[in-house]
Structure 1
């Protein structure tokens, strides 16, 4: 990503927050056949301090296409984003932009055992079902869901480094930012909320 110091997001806690709230991720591998990309949910694993570890599952045979375990992969987590119109700026400021919160995570994946994969899939399902009135669980039919889980491969990635940006109109005067936020709140409230948190996201700790 373009290196603009005012947009750098360097706090691991904010990257973890991004993963929790936006778990749909893109996994990119530089394989012997060229670049390969797949899309799967990323489950943030609990960890101490600044360490970031994510778990996911690939549907077979994606793990073969990605040559998992033989090289570093790039995981792209895309947070709120939207077009910003210059009509929301002061007169004469005519250049539009696109505000976004994005993290690039790097690490070498490790394959999970069959039991570890099933445990991860159970946690992943619970993550999205627990708030639903009639939420379901893989535990309701462990024999059947374990059989289906064999069609997937569990993966854990201990993030060795990340490159994250929160580009949220930090280069604009406060009154312009407030006007952009007011417009975004109508159709992109998550991005408007991120703009209000911009100092927390990008100011050095």
Structure 2
């Protein structure tokens, strides 16, 4: 991902926030046969101060990726969307795409079976917490026995990245009136409306304005 100082996302807490809100990630590896990619939910490892994530892969993805033998790349993507030049005040203008994303690279640590089972439980809790009647992995004897059986088909891993490239491209280089217009369009009912992207832009620009 090409970096630009105007859009660089260097705050570790902000990257953690990005992951917490957007836990569906892409895992990419380069092996002898070429590039391979898989998609799995991830969690911030809240037990550590530094940026670290935990997840699992289903067998045989651990072998497909040759996990633990070399670097992997984990890609996290936040709200994103098309920005029409018709939303700008200036002419000429060209379209762009606003987005927030983070690339986390490093060699993953393979978790023990016990650690993997704990991570699986935390993943379930993370998503079930929003349900009116959450189903916990160990909530009922039948669920617990089933979870124990199927967990053997997964491999857990922790990645404490040694390479981080994160970017928040949300029209930070545009005048305030243009930003407000873009947010208004994203909050509307047009074909490219995106309330999530509008909310992220508003949050970033409110912070920028408060810091001036």
TM-score range, shorter chain: over 0.9
Distance in 2, Cα, partners of 1:91 & 1:54: 42
Note the alpha carbon deviations across 1:32-74, whole angstroms, 9 max, x for none.
211110000011111444x111111101100000000011111
* SS of the residue 2:118 aligns to: helix
**In the alignment, is the contact (CA less than 8 A) between 1:166 and 1:198 conserved in 2?**
no
Distance in 2, Cα, partners of 1:81 & 1:72: 27
Question: Cα RMSD over matched residues?
Answer: 1.6
Distance in 1, Cα, partners of 2:92 & 2:196: 25
Equivalent residue, structure 1, for 2:134: 135
Q: TM-score, normalised by structure 2?
A: 0.90
Q: Count the aligned residue pairs.
A: 201
* SS of the residue 2:6 aligns to: helix
**Structure 1 stretches of 4+ moved >6 Å:** none
Within a 5 Å distance, the mapping from 1:190-205 to structure 2 comes to 190-198=196-204, 200=207
* SS of the residue 2:91 aligns to: coil
Equivalent residue, structure 2, for 1:155: 157
Q: TM-score, normalised by structure 1?
A: 0.93
Distance in 2, Cα, partners of 1:44 & 1:135: 21
Note the alpha carbon deviations across 1:108-161, whole angstroms, 9 max, x for none.
111111111111101100000012112211102212111011111111111222
Equivalent residue, structure 1, for 2:174: 172
| Structure possessing the higher relative contact order (Cα contacts under 8 Å, 6 or more residues apart) | 1
Within a 5 Å distance, the mapping from 1:1-205 to structure 2 comes to 1-49=1-49, 51-139=50-138, 140=140, 141-186=143-188, 187-198=193-204, 200=207
**In the alignment, is the contact (CA less than 8 A) between 2:3 and 2:165 conserved in 1?**
no
**In the alignment, is the contact (CA less than 8 A) between 1:109 and 1:158 conserved in 2?**
yes
